[in-house]
Amino acid sequence: MTSLLPASEKDALKDLFQDAVETRENAYAPNSKFRVGAAILARDGSVYKGSNKEFTMNADHAEQRAINEALMAGQQPKDLMAVAVFGARGEVTDKNFEARLSPCGNCRQALHELNPEMLAVGAQGKGEIQAYRLKDELPDAYFREKELPSPPAALVTGDPLLDGALKARSRAYVPRSGQPVGAAVETDKGIFLGTRAEVSSFTSQAARMALGAAVEAGATIFHRLALVGGTEPETFERPASLPFDTFEALYHLAPDAEVLFPNESGVLESHKSLDFPGFLRSPAATRNR
Protein backbone atom coordinates (compact mmCIF):
# COMPACT_ATOMS: atom_id res chain seq x y z
CA MET A 1 0.00 0.00 0.00
CA THR A 2 3.01 2.33 0.15
CA SER A 3 2.52 5.19 -2.28
CA LEU A 4 5.00 5.64 -5.11
CA LEU A 5 5.41 9.39 -5.00
CA PRO A 6 7.29 11.74 -7.32
CA ALA A 7 10.40 13.18 -5.68
CA SER A 8 8.90 16.69 -5.53
CA GLU A 9 5.75 15.44 -3.78
CA LYS A 10 7.76 13.31 -1.39
CA ASP A 11 9.90 16.33 -0.42
CA ALA A 12 6.76 18.33 0.36
CA LEU A 13 5.46 15.48 2.51
CA LYS A 14 8.78 15.27 4.35
CA ASP A 15 8.32 18.92 5.25
CA LEU A 16 4.77 18.15 6.37
CA PHE A 17 5.99 15.31 8.57
CA GLN A 18 8.59 17.61 10.13
CA ASP A 19 5.77 20.04 10.93
CA ALA A 20 4.02 17.24 12.82
CA VAL A 21 7.22 16.41 14.72
CA GLU A 22 7.68 20.03 15.76
CA THR A 23 3.99 20.55 16.61
CA ARG A 24 4.15 17.61 19.02
CA GLU A 25 6.16 19.85 21.34
CA ASN A 26 2.97 21.84 22.04
CA ALA A 27 1.02 18.80 23.23
CA TYR A 28 -0.58 18.72 26.68
CA ALA A 29 -0.90 15.11 27.80
CA PRO A 30 -0.85 14.81 31.62
CA ASN A 31 -2.99 11.65 31.50
CA SER A 32 -1.43 9.47 28.80
CA LYS A 33 2.04 11.10 28.74
CA PHE A 34 1.93 10.36 24.99
CA ARG A 35 2.38 13.54 22.99
CA VAL A 36 1.21 13.66 19.39
CA GLY A 37 1.53 16.24 16.63
CA ALA A 38 -0.43 16.37 13.37
CA ALA A 39 -0.14 18.55 10.28
CA ILE A 40 -2.59 18.74 7.37
CA LEU A 41 -1.63 19.91 3.88
CA ALA A 42 -4.27 21.65 1.77
CA ARG A 43 -4.40 21.82 -2.02
CA ASP A 44 -3.23 25.45 -2.02
CA GLY A 45 -0.09 24.56 -0.04
CA SER A 46 -1.35 25.80 3.33
CA VAL A 47 -0.47 23.69 6.37
CA TYR A 48 -2.63 23.39 9.50
CA LYS A 49 -1.21 21.98 12.72
CA GLY A 50 -2.48 20.58 15.99
CA SER A 51 -1.33 18.56 18.99
CA ASN A 52 -3.26 16.43 21.44
CA LYS A 53 -4.84 18.20 24.40
CA GLU A 54 -5.93 16.29 27.50
CA PHE A 55 -7.79 18.96 29.43
CA THR A 56 -10.11 16.27 30.82
CA MET A 57 -10.25 12.49 30.52
CA ASN A 58 -11.86 13.02 27.09
CA ALA A 59 -8.85 13.99 25.00
CA ASP A 60 -8.87 16.13 21.88
CA HIS A 61 -6.64 14.31 19.39
CA ALA A 62 -3.95 16.05 17.37
CA GLU A 63 -5.79 15.25 14.13
CA GLN A 64 -8.98 16.84 15.50
CA ARG A 65 -7.05 19.98 16.33
CA ALA A 66 -5.47 20.15 12.86
CA ILE A 67 -8.85 19.54 11.17
CA ASN A 68 -10.36 22.37 13.18
CA GLU A 69 -7.60 24.76 12.17
CA ALA A 70 -8.18 23.89 8.49
CA LEU A 71 -11.94 24.40 8.76
CA MET A 72 -11.45 27.68 10.63
CA ALA A 73 -9.29 28.89 7.74
CA GLY A 74 -12.15 28.20 5.31
CA GLN A 75 -10.70 25.09 3.68
CA GLN A 76 -13.13 22.70 1.99
CA PRO A 77 -12.85 19.07 3.13
CA LYS A 78 -12.11 17.83 -0.41
CA ASP A 79 -9.10 20.16 -0.57
CA LEU A 80 -7.32 18.53 2.38
CA MET A 81 -4.68 16.44 0.62
CA ALA A 82 -2.41 14.88 3.26
CA VAL A 83 -2.06 14.44 7.01
CA ALA A 84 1.18 13.68 8.84
CA VAL A 85 1.22 12.31 12.40
CA PHE A 86 4.05 11.79 14.88
CA GLY A 87 3.92 10.81 18.54
CA ALA A 88 6.21 9.70 21.35
CA ARG A 89 6.51 9.52 25.11
CA GLY A 90 9.24 11.59 26.72
CA GLU A 91 12.13 12.86 24.68
CA VAL A 92 12.20 12.05 20.96
CA THR A 93 14.89 9.55 19.94
CA ASP A 94 15.84 7.87 16.65
CA LYS A 95 13.84 4.82 17.75
CA ASN A 96 10.64 6.85 17.49
CA PHE A 97 11.16 7.11 13.72
CA GLU A 98 11.56 3.38 13.11
CA ALA A 99 7.85 2.66 12.71
CA ARG A 100 5.08 4.81 11.32
CA LEU A 101 2.51 6.06 13.81
CA SER A 102 -0.89 5.75 12.15
CA PRO A 103 -3.91 7.87 13.06
CA CYS A 104 -6.11 5.96 15.50
CA GLY A 105 -9.17 4.23 14.07
CA ASN A 106 -11.51 7.04 15.03
CA CYS A 107 -9.25 9.68 13.49
CA ARG A 108 -8.84 7.61 10.31
CA GLN A 109 -12.60 7.50 9.98
CA ALA A 110 -12.85 11.23 10.68
CA LEU A 111 -10.25 12.08 8.04
CA HIS A 112 -11.77 9.58 5.59
CA GLU A 113 -15.15 11.31 5.93
CA LEU A 114 -13.50 14.56 4.86
CA ASN A 115 -11.51 13.16 1.91
CA PRO A 116 -10.92 9.43 1.30
CA GLU A 117 -8.12 10.32 -1.14
CA MET A 118 -6.08 12.03 1.59
CA LEU A 119 -2.59 10.67 2.17
CA ALA A 120 -1.60 9.57 5.69
CA VAL A 121 2.11 10.24 6.20
CA GLY A 122 4.43 8.78 8.83
CA ALA A 123 8.04 7.84 9.50
CA GLN A 124 9.95 5.07 7.78
CA GLY A 125 13.28 5.50 9.51
CA LYS A 126 15.11 8.70 10.35
CA GLY A 127 14.72 11.18 7.50
CA GLU A 128 12.36 8.96 5.48
CA ILE A 129 8.58 8.77 5.21
CA GLN A 130 5.88 6.49 3.91
CA ALA A 131 2.40 7.45 2.81
CA TYR A 132 -0.89 5.60 2.32
CA ARG A 133 -4.26 6.59 0.95
CA LEU A 134 -6.84 6.76 3.71
CA LYS A 135 -9.26 4.72 1.61
CA ASP A 136 -6.62 1.95 1.54
CA GLU A 137 -6.04 2.15 5.28
CA LEU A 138 -9.76 1.86 6.02
CA PRO A 139 -11.26 -0.55 3.45
CA ASP A 140 -15.05 -0.52 3.14
CA ALA A 141 -15.20 2.51 5.39
CA TYR A 142 -18.46 4.32 5.97
CA PHE A 143 -18.70 7.29 3.61
CA ARG A 144 -21.49 9.28 2.08
CA GLU A 145 -21.63 12.55 0.23
CA LYS A 146 -22.88 15.28 2.52
CA GLU A 147 -24.98 18.25 1.63
CA LEU A 148 -24.04 20.87 4.17
CA PRO A 149 -26.50 23.56 5.24
CA SER A 150 -25.46 27.09 4.49
CA PRO A 151 -23.64 28.41 7.57
CA PRO A 152 -25.01 31.50 9.29
CA ALA A 153 -23.24 34.70 8.39
CA ALA A 154 -20.92 36.38 10.87
CA LEU A 155 -22.21 39.55 12.44
CA VAL A 156 -20.05 42.54 13.27
CA THR A 157 -20.71 43.44 16.89
CA GLY A 158 -17.75 45.69 17.62
CA ASP A 159 -16.47 43.25 20.24
CA PRO A 160 -13.55 41.25 18.74
CA LEU A 161 -14.33 38.31 21.02
CA LEU A 162 -17.96 38.05 19.90
CA ASP A 163 -17.05 38.70 16.27
CA GLY A 164 -14.55 35.85 16.54
CA ALA A 165 -17.12 33.47 17.96
CA LEU A 166 -19.55 34.35 15.18
CA LYS A 167 -16.86 33.86 12.54
CA ALA A 168 -16.12 30.46 14.07
CA ARG A 169 -19.84 29.62 13.97
CA SER A 170 -19.84 30.36 10.24
CA ARG A 171 -17.06 27.78 9.67
CA ALA A 172 -18.77 24.90 11.48
CA TYR A 173 -18.90 21.48 9.80
CA VAL A 174 -22.18 19.96 11.00
CA PRO A 175 -23.57 17.56 8.36
CA ARG A 176 -25.39 15.48 10.99
CA SER A 177 -27.06 17.99 13.27
CA GLY A 178 -27.12 21.14 11.13
CA GLN A 179 -26.45 23.04 14.38
CA PRO A 180 -23.30 25.16 14.06
CA VAL A 181 -21.44 26.36 17.15
CA GLY A 182 -18.55 28.79 17.37
CA ALA A 183 -16.28 29.79 20.24
CA ALA A 184 -13.62 32.40 20.88
CA VAL A 185 -11.31 32.80 23.86
CA GLU A 186 -9.52 36.02 24.83
CA THR A 187 -6.08 35.43 26.37
CA ASP A 188 -2.75 37.06 27.07
CA LYS A 189 -1.65 35.89 23.60
CA GLY A 190 -4.69 37.21 21.72
CA ILE A 191 -8.03 35.76 20.64
CA PHE A 192 -8.31 32.16 19.44
CA LEU A 193 -11.20 30.47 17.68
CA GLY A 194 -12.75 27.02 17.55
CA THR A 195 -15.69 25.55 15.66
CA ARG A 196 -17.90 22.49 15.89
CA ALA A 197 -16.85 19.67 13.56
CA GLU A 198 -18.91 16.50 13.25
CA VAL A 199 -16.59 13.82 11.87
CA SER A 200 -16.60 10.14 12.79
CA SER A 201 -18.00 9.55 16.29
CA PHE A 202 -16.07 12.62 17.37
CA THR A 203 -17.83 15.93 17.52
CA SER A 204 -15.10 18.47 18.14
CA GLN A 205 -16.48 20.93 20.67
CA ALA A 206 -16.00 24.54 19.67
CA ALA A 207 -14.90 25.80 23.08
CA ARG A 208 -12.36 23.01 23.59
CA MET A 209 -10.95 23.67 20.13
CA ALA A 210 -10.57 27.39 20.94
CA LEU A 211 -8.88 26.56 24.24
CA GLY A 212 -6.60 24.11 22.46
CA ALA A 213 -5.56 26.73 19.93
CA ALA A 214 -4.78 29.14 22.76
CA VAL A 215 -2.66 26.63 24.67
CA GLU A 216 -0.93 25.72 21.40
CA ALA A 217 0.15 29.36 21.12
CA GLY A 218 1.44 29.48 24.68
CA ALA A 219 -1.43 31.33 26.34
CA THR A 220 -1.47 31.10 30.12
CA ILE A 221 -4.02 33.77 31.10
CA PHE A 222 -7.64 33.39 29.96
CA HIS A 223 -9.86 36.46 30.29
CA ARG A 224 -13.13 35.71 28.47
CA LEU A 225 -14.72 32.94 26.42
CA ALA A 226 -17.75 33.37 24.13
CA LEU A 227 -19.80 30.42 22.90
CA VAL A 228 -22.60 30.91 20.38
CA GLY A 229 -24.88 28.73 18.28
CA GLY A 230 -27.71 29.33 15.89
CA THR A 231 -28.50 29.30 12.19
CA GLU A 232 -30.02 32.75 11.79
CA PRO A 233 -27.52 35.27 10.42
CA GLU A 234 -28.50 38.17 12.65
CA THR A 235 -29.06 36.49 15.99
CA PHE A 236 -27.22 34.75 18.77
CA GLU A 237 -28.65 31.43 19.86
CA ARG A 238 -27.84 29.23 22.79
CA PRO A 239 -26.14 26.04 21.51
CA ALA A 240 -28.53 23.11 21.52
CA SER A 241 -26.22 21.27 23.92
CA LEU A 242 -23.57 22.47 26.34
CA PRO A 243 -21.39 19.41 27.01
CA PHE A 244 -20.26 19.20 30.60
CA ASP A 245 -16.66 18.47 29.73
CA THR A 246 -16.43 21.73 27.76
CA PHE A 247 -16.86 23.62 30.99
CA GLU A 248 -14.77 21.11 32.90
CA ALA A 249 -11.90 21.88 30.51
CA LEU A 250 -12.45 25.61 30.95
CA TYR A 251 -12.46 25.27 34.70
CA HIS A 252 -9.17 23.36 34.74
CA LEU A 253 -7.53 26.02 32.58
CA ALA A 254 -9.21 29.21 33.75
CA PRO A 255 -11.61 28.96 36.69
CA ASP A 256 -11.91 32.76 36.90
CA ALA A 257 -12.55 33.48 33.22
CA GLU A 258 -15.74 35.27 32.21
CA VAL A 259 -17.99 33.09 30.04
CA LEU A 260 -20.48 34.63 27.62
CA PHE A 261 -23.25 32.64 25.98
CA PRO A 262 -26.87 33.30 25.00
CA ASN A 263 -29.74 32.44 27.26
CA GLU A 264 -32.85 30.70 25.90
CA SER A 265 -34.10 34.04 24.56
CA GLY A 266 -30.89 34.70 22.63
CA VAL A 267 -29.65 37.39 25.02
CA LEU A 268 -25.95 37.16 25.84
CA GLU A 269 -25.32 36.58 29.52
CA SER A 270 -22.08 36.91 31.44
CA HIS A 271 -21.09 34.24 33.95
CA LYS A 272 -18.25 34.94 36.31
CA SER A 273 -18.36 31.48 37.83
CA LEU A 274 -20.33 28.51 36.57
CA ASP A 275 -22.11 26.21 38.97
CA PHE A 276 -19.72 23.28 38.83
CA PRO A 277 -20.03 20.32 41.15
CA GLY A 278 -17.84 20.54 44.21
CA PHE A 279 -15.29 17.97 43.03
CA LEU A 280 -14.23 20.29 40.19
CA ARG A 281 -13.41 23.00 42.69
CA SER A 282 -11.11 20.78 44.74
CA PRO A 283 -7.33 21.32 44.42
CA ALA A 284 -6.85 17.71 43.35
CA ALA A 285 -9.10 18.22 40.34
CA THR A 286 -7.27 21.26 39.02
CA ARG A 287 -4.32 20.36 36.82
CA ASN A 288 -1.36 22.68 36.50
CA ARG A 289 0.04 23.03 33.02
3-class SS of residue 68: helix
Q: Which of 63, 186, 198, 216 is catalytic?
A: 63
Q: Of 29, 33, 21, which is closest to residue 289 (Cα–Cα)? A: 29
Q: Is 216 a catalytic residue?
A: no
3-class SS of residue 77: helix
Q: Tell me the H-state helices in 73-177.
A: 105-114, 134-137, 160-170
CA distances from 58 to 105, 114, 203 (A): 16, 22, 12
Phi, psi of 222 (to 5 degrees): -115, 115
Residue 89's CB is within 10 A of a number of other CB atoms, namely 11
Bridge partners (DSSP) of residue 129 are: 123
Strand order, beta sheet including 190-195: 190-195, 181-187, 222-229, 258-262, 268-271
Q: What are the residue numbers of the active site?
A: 63
